[in-house]
Amino acid sequence: MLGKVILLFNTIKYLKFIQIVNRVKRKFIKPTIDLSRAPEISSVNNKLKFVIKCQQKMFDNSIFRFLNRESNVKTLDDWNANDQDKLWLYNLHYFDDLNAVNSEQRADWHRKLIQKWINDNPPGFKNGWEPYPSSLRIINWIKWFLLNGNLKQEWLDSLASQTRFLSQNLEYHLLGNHLFANAKALIFSGLYFQGAEADEWYQTGIKILNKELPEQVLSDGGNFELSPMYHAIFLEDLLDLINIHQAYDKNQPANIATKATQMLKWLESMSHPDGEISFFNDSTLGVAPTLGELVNYARQLDIDHKGGNLSGLTYFQESGYIRLDKKDLVIIADVAKIGPDYIPGHGHADVLSFEMSLFGERLIVNSGISTYNTSPERQKQRGTLAHSTITIDVTDSSEVWSGFRVAKRAKVFDINNTKVADNFKFSACHDGYKDLKGRVIHCREWNASENLLEIVDKITGNGEHKITSVLPLHPNIVVSNIQDNSVNLEIKGKKVKVNFEGEGLLQVVTSKYHSEFGLSIDNKQLVYDYNGSLPFKTKIKISW
């Protein structure tokens, strides 16, 4: 019982006062529902220049596929089915297919779907009226409405009612990307409609945007939740806001284009040579737009991204990531905190982990995510053992729990990087294990020279401990010739040797790699174990 109290205290103490107040308010104060007629539609001056097309989500009139799971939605109850994950149901209410690949060919389905949603989801009822799915649906409906004619008054009235309800139900208890999505929806509705009510929505959205933008986009261009996936989602939000302001010939919010340019540079550095994002914190493929799609979108909006010059070492000091691009080698390393103190729900215990590409292909990876519930599997995927770093005494470096909670957090210190001739070195330490007996500290150093990467781990402190070093491998990597503490890998037909130096023992174990929600693919992990006294030092040599 005492342990639970301490866990809760170490979680709640980081919350902002506004979050606590609004959590209480949501318990006792419910937003009102105004079903009056919608305001008149504003005249649009220009067409939306471009909208990123996600993958098709709707198949036939009632078949939907989200998160690699397909299901029928026919009855009223199917919108809130008990046998579906919350995230699957959220996706159902987003209406992403309205603006998906070849969506114009499904326009008749979409008309029926909009009407069905209105009929089956009474105002204020369950998942569909929660503020986050409401925000995304409002935006998707408006994008679709701007590209399609013959709109029913009932649809416009519903859209206005959804916006009114959202405006009284903003997610100040969560803040972060949820509140920003709320603001984006209010801005879209405030521009789409006209009159005093619409202007109030717009001004509320702009006020939130102006407050949140400087906080949520760091000075080095990274999104403050420190997830490449959420970074890409947020960047699309910025580009959408620029797009709709251009469509209505309205001055866009100050600094938004500058922030978008900075975010493009950060995302490029956090992507592998295959053009897809690295897996730090909650990140996986198939959710956010790709780097290429976002660059193309920005150019359509006359935002010129001059990318491609990634050679050498780049340190994003405020967000806490390091990229090394050296000939055939790309390393992306995490020397960051777990996320914003008051909203670390998308954070993983992945400090001092890294991802590595060689010859343009992923070699060493973090394990990704496949689920967003509170299951043991979600806990495992957030845990340190699922990442390319050191775990001590089978304990996570940050205290992740209950799906989206974090109590005690690792703090990173002594971050350094140097370049001598053509050799690069960078290093950092963290105190995530300081509460273990013996006040344990982990320091890691990466040394890159010609055709060689050395990773040196130093564990200081006192007492007997179990040290586990894990290198998850991409599923395409072939493992062979396991001898003592060395192993051969094959990537694109080329040989790579990995050797562990120290007093531990190397094993190759089968694990899972989660490249998308709902997917778990077999892969191999190199697991190096040591049981003994501290201090301890080990070196990993990767040569090619």
| pLDDT tens digit sequence for 316-359 | 999 999 999 999 999 999 999 999 999 999 999 999 999 999 99
**Angstrom distance (rounded) from CA 102 to CA 110:** 12
Q: Is residue 33 part of a domain?
A: no
Whole-number percent of the chain with pLDDT over 70: 100
Alpha-carbon distances of 266 from 35, 224, 246, 316, rounded to whole Å: 43, 12, 25, 8
Percentage of residues in the chain with pLDDT exceeding 90?
92
Task: Specify the DSSP class assigned to residue 54.
Answer: B
Does 97 map to a domain? Answer: no
| pLDDT at 265 (0 to 100) | 96
Residue 158 lies in a domain: no
Residue 400 has what pLDDT? 97
Query: Is the model's pLDDT at 308 over the cut of 80?
Result: no
The whole-number pLDDT of residue 305 equals: 84
Angle subtended at Cα 295 by Cα 331 and Cα 135, rounded to the nearest 5 degrees: 105
What is the pLDDT averaged over residues 389-403? 97
Residues 161-169, mean pLDDT to the nearest whole number: 97
The helix/strand/coil state of 183 is helix
Residue 278 confidence class, pLDDT cut points 50, 70, 90: very high
Which pLDDT band, with edges at 50, 70 and 90, does 68 fall under? very high
- 44-53, 133-142, 528-537: least confident range: 44-53
Give pLDDT, residue 377.
97
Domain membership of residue 410 as a residue range = 312-543
Residue 149's pLDDT band (cuts 50, 70, 90) = confident
pLDDT at res. 32: 87
CA atoms within 13 A on the CB side of 60: 8
pLDDT of residue 136 exceeding 80 = yes
3-state secondary structure 242-269: HHHHHHCCCCCCCCHHHHHHHHHHHHHH
Q: Is residue 461 part of a domain?
A: yes
How sure is the predictor about 4, in pLDDT bands with cuts at 50, 70 and 90? confident
Q: Which of 86-90, 149-153, 211-215, 293-297 is predicted least confidently?
A: 149-153
Q: How far is the CA of 208 from the CAs of 136, 257, 406, in angstroms?
A: 17, 17, 26
Query: What would the mean pLDDT of 428-457 be, rounded to a whole number?
Result: 97
DSSP 106: G
Q: For residue 328, is it within any domain?
A: yes
Write the CA distances from 25 to 34, 48, 133, 420, integer angstroms.
Answer: 20, 38, 20, 57
**Is position 3 within any domain?**
no
Residue 165 lies in a domain: no
- Which one, of 474, 200, 217, 429, lies nearest residue 330 by Cα? 474
Which residues are bridge partners to 113 per DSSP?
Answer: none
Domains identified in the chain, total number: 1
Asked if residue 211 is part of any domain, the answer here is no
When pLDDT is averaged across residues 280-291 and rounded to a whole number, the result is 97
Q: What is the mean pLDDT of the chain?
A: 96
Residue with tokens 């105002």: 123
Q: Residue 406: give its domain's CATH number.
A: 2.70.98.70
Contact 390, 380 (CB under 8 A): no
pLDDT value at residue 5: 86
